């Protein structure tokens, strides 16, 4: 399990590398007593929070391991995080990506100097290919979520939320493989246990909620999770390490529909500082459309995990009625 000291060490390691994103209050009409603040991780150099965990993992490697090069598997944002961190640290990076990854993410990863290997859409498929290449070439694996250094890096968001809003009562975070919510929940619960931590994920990729309810990891088929517009959350199951953190620190997980995600993207796009890709908008969707399932708290934070949305998609969503 990741300790508070691990997360604080990651925070020191990331200083000057990851952007220290500041909370933005989201003002909306017809609000009740609840207030919502946004954690805009879309403002990171790669447009997403994944830089935090990727850099913390690679920077913590021994020099002889860095010389071997690193490999990872990702639908896009973690790919960019690994590529960015590897370039900054002078390390070779190979990324296994699904062939249906958004072009904006594929091109950004390649521009950062990573070698890309494409496979089919299943998250399990890209993981197996990455493991095969790691064994073949001796690369060091940088997992997207099932790793304590990754979790500690993502947990730095939790520390920042508490620094910016010490009175926060509920924090909502997107859930894919579980790296973000594992770290954020650990950082918050180990610092201020009274704060509620709620995960939010698409109904079509609701494996984390199903796992928490069942008390064991539940796998979803690739054909189902690939249907969600939230491409960054198309994981078929959460990681074992993440599951243990979630069981200990996460209060609940809610799911949102595709229409709710689309509406949240449109609401956030009204402010250039909070433009979100569909995956990045799910926590906000949870706040707006599932208030009855959430704690009745006044001070709330929702994390915008990323803003790497295809301009054409954003324009199409804005035209929808």
Residue the block writes with tokens 């918050």: 188
Question: CA 186, CA 196: separation in Å to the nearest integer?
Answer: 11
Separation CA 69–CA 281 (nearest Å)? 33
List 263's β-bridge partners, or say none. Answer: none
Sort 99 into a burial class: Cβ within 10 Å, 0-12 / 13-18 / 19+.
exposed
Among candidates 208, 204, 227, which has minimal Cα distance to 216?
A: 208
Phi/psi at 149 (5° precision): -70, -35
List the structure tokens of 114: 């990573």
Q: What residue has token string 């008390």?
A: 215
Q: Is 48 helix (H, G, I), strand (E, B) or coil?
A: strand
Q: How far apart are CA 252 and CA 56, in angstroms?
A: 27
Which residues are tagged catalytic? 50, 305
The helix (run of H) or strand (run of E) holding residue 117 is strand 115-119
């Amino acid at each position: 399990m990741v300790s508070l000291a691990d997360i604080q060490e990651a925070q020191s390691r990331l200083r000057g590398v990851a952007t220290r994103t500041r909370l933005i209050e989201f003002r909306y009409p017809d609000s009740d007593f609840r207030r919502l603040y946004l954690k805009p991780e879309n403002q990171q150099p790669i447009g997403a929070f994944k830089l935090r965990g990727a850099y913390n993992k690679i920077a913590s490697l021994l020099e002889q391991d860095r010389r071997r090069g690193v490999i990872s598997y990702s639908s896009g944002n973690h790919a960019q995080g690994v590529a960015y961190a590897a370039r900054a640290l002078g390390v070779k990076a190979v990324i296994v990506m699904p062939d249906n990854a958004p072009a904006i993410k594929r091109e950004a990863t390649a521009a950062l100097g990573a070698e890309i290997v494409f496979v089919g859409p299943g998250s399990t498929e890209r993981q197996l290919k990455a493991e095969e290449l790691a064994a073949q070439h001796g690369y060091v694996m940088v997992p997207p979520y099932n790793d304590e250094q990754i979790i500690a890096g993502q947990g730095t968001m939790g520390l920042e939320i508490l620094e910016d809003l010490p009175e926060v009562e509920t924090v909502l975070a997107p859930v894919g493989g579980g790296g973000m919510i594992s770290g954020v929940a650990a950082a918050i619960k180990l610092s201020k246990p009274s704060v509620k931590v709620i995960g939010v994920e698409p109904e079509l990729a609701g494996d984390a909620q199903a796992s928490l309810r069942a008390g064991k990891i539940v796998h979803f088929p690739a054909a189902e999770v690939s249907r969600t517009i939230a491409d960054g959350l198309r994981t078929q199951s959460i990681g074992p390490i993440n599951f243990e953190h979630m069981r200990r620190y996460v209060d609940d997980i809610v799911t949102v529909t595709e229409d709710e995600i689309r509406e949240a993207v449109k609401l956030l796009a009204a402010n250039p500082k909070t433009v979100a890709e569909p995956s990045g908008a799910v926590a906000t969707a949870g706040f707006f459309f599932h208030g009855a399932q959430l704690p009745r708290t006044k001070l709330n934070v929702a994390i915008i995990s990323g803003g790497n949305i295809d301009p054409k998609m954003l324009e199409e969503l804005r035209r929808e009625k």
